[in-house]
Amino acid sequence: MLDTLRKLAQRYHVPLLSLITDEHTGEAGLVTRVEAFVDMLERKAAGRGVKIA
């Protein structure tokens, strides 16, 4: 499933973030990944002169 998604994302240049969770009680890792993903989209858009509200 993930492989197919990865291939599709690559083909159509769609940003993709996969999150894997385990028994950790901390959510820090998840928060970091989601934050970084949002930053990536924002900085990408800013690089093209597009502003995300």
Partner 1 sequence: MTTVFLGIDVGSVTTKFVVIDDETDLVAHLYLRTSGKPVAVVQAALRELATRLPDLTELTGVGVTGSARQLIGAIVGADVVKNEITAHAVGAAHCKPDVQTVIEIGGQDSKVIILRDSIVTDFAMNTVCAAGTGSFLDQQSFRLNLAIEDFGRLALNSKTPVRIAGRCTVFAESDMIHKQQMGHQVEDILYGLCQALARNFLNNLCLGKELCPPIIFQGGVASNGGMVRAFEELLGTQVTVPPHHDVIGALGVALLARERYQATHRASAFKGWVVSEMCYETTSFECKGCSNLCEVVCVAQDGEIIGRWGSRCSKWDV
* Residues 4-43 as x/- pattern, contact with partner 1 by CB under 8 A: --x--------x----xxx-----xx-xxx-xx--xx--x
Residue closer to partner 1 (CB basis): 1 or 47:
47
Per CB under 8 A, the list member of 1, 12, 14, 47 interacting with partner 1 is 47
HEC sequence for 2-51: HHHHHHHHHHHCCCCCCCCCCCCCCCHHHHHHHHHHHHHHHHHHHHCCCC
Positions in the binding site for partner 1 (CB under 8 A)? 3, 6, 15, 20-22, 28-29, 31-33, 35-36, 39-40, 43-44, 47
